[in-house]
Amino acid sequence: MRPPHALEWIDGIETDFVDLATVDPRLVGIARAIALDVANHHRHGKALGRRNISGDLSGFYRLSFDVPEQRVQRFRLIYDRPDDSTIRIVGLGEREGSAVYRALAQRLGN
């Protein structure tokens, strides 16, 4: 069995959690649980690449999530792997209008 990855949250991610909590407080716990699943090798995200709206997001991965009764998953958790033993959560937010990708690009200075 592989050891879990270290889990890091970038500075400023607190704002993303506040935004999630304003939509539905349960989203905060769901996002944290997904991050732990990734760190423990239970889930893997889809690789991102070049996007017209946000530029090059190669090296980042996304996972969809929402509250259980919501049929369409409206939110994304974005992470990268700065090294072989670390998962770093870099963004949480709404999918609609590519909001989470735009916010990440701004955070990264793209």
Q: Count CB atoms within 10 A of the CB of residue 13.
A: 17
pLDDT of residue 54: 72
State residue 77's pLDDT score.
Answer: 97
Domains of the chain (ranges; CATH) run 6-108 (3.30.2310.20)
Q: What is the DSSP letter of 80?
A: E
Closest CA to 85 of 28, 7, 1, 27: 7
Q: What is the pLDDT of residues 9-60, one digit of tens each?
A: 998 899 999 999 999 999 999 999 999 999 999 999 999 988 777 778 899 9
Q: What is the pTM of this model?
A: 0.91
CA 38 – CA 7 distance, rounded (Å)? 9
User: What is the arithmetic mean of pLDDT over 59-66?
Assistant: 96
